[in-house]
Amino acid sequence: MSRTALVPPTGRAPLNREQQRERTRAETRERICAAAMRLFLEEGIERTSMRRIADAVGYTPGALYSYFEDKEDVLFALHRAGFDRLRTALRALDAEQPTPRQRLERIGEIYIRFAIENPHYYELMFMLSDVTRRIGEQERWKEGLDTYDTLRGAVRDAMDSAVIPPGDVEAAAFALWSHVHGTVSLLLRGRCVMIPDETLPALVAGSFQWLIRAVTAQERPRPPARPRTRPRKRGT
Name which of 142, 162, 141, 153 is nearest 93 in CA terms: 153
d(CA 175, CA 211): 10
> What is the value of pTM for the model shown?
0.79
* Structure confidence at residue 125 as a pLDDT band (50, 70, 90): very high
Q: Give yes or no for residue 6 having a pLDDT over 80.
A: no
Question: Between 142-160 and 100-117, two packed helices, what is the crossing angle to 10 degrees?
Answer: 150
**% the chain with pLDDT above 90:** 69
pLDDT at 227: 59
d(CA 1, CA 18): 25
d(CA 76, CA 134): 7
pLDDT at 90: 94
Domain positions in the chain: 20-68, 71-217
d(CA 71, CA 198): 39
- Count Cα neighbours of 204 within 13 Å in the Cβ-side half-sphere: 24
pLDDT one-digit tens code per residue, 210-230: 999 888 875 444 445 555 555
CATH of domain 71-217: 1.10.357.10
- Count Cα neighbours of 228 within 13 Å in the Cβ-side half-sphere: 2
Topology of domain 20-68 in CATH is: Arc Repressor Mutant, subunit A (1.10.10)
* Structure confidence at residue 137 as a pLDDT band (50, 70, 90): confident
The amino acid sitting at 95 is: A
Q: Give yes or no for residue 110 having a pLDDT over 60.
A: yes
d(CA 217, CA 210): 10
Mean pLDDT of 76-92: 94
Which of 75-84, 90-99, 196-205, 226-235 has the lowest average pLDDT?
226-235
The amino acid sitting at 117 is: E
| CA trace torsion 160, 163, 169, 173 (10° rounding) | -140
The runs of H, that is alpha helices, within 118-217 are 119-122, 129-136, 142-160, 169-188, 200-216
Q: Give yes or no for residue 233 having a pLDDT over 70.
A: no
* Structure confidence at residue 231 as a pLDDT band (50, 70, 90): low
Do domains 20-68 and 71-217 share one topology? The answer is no
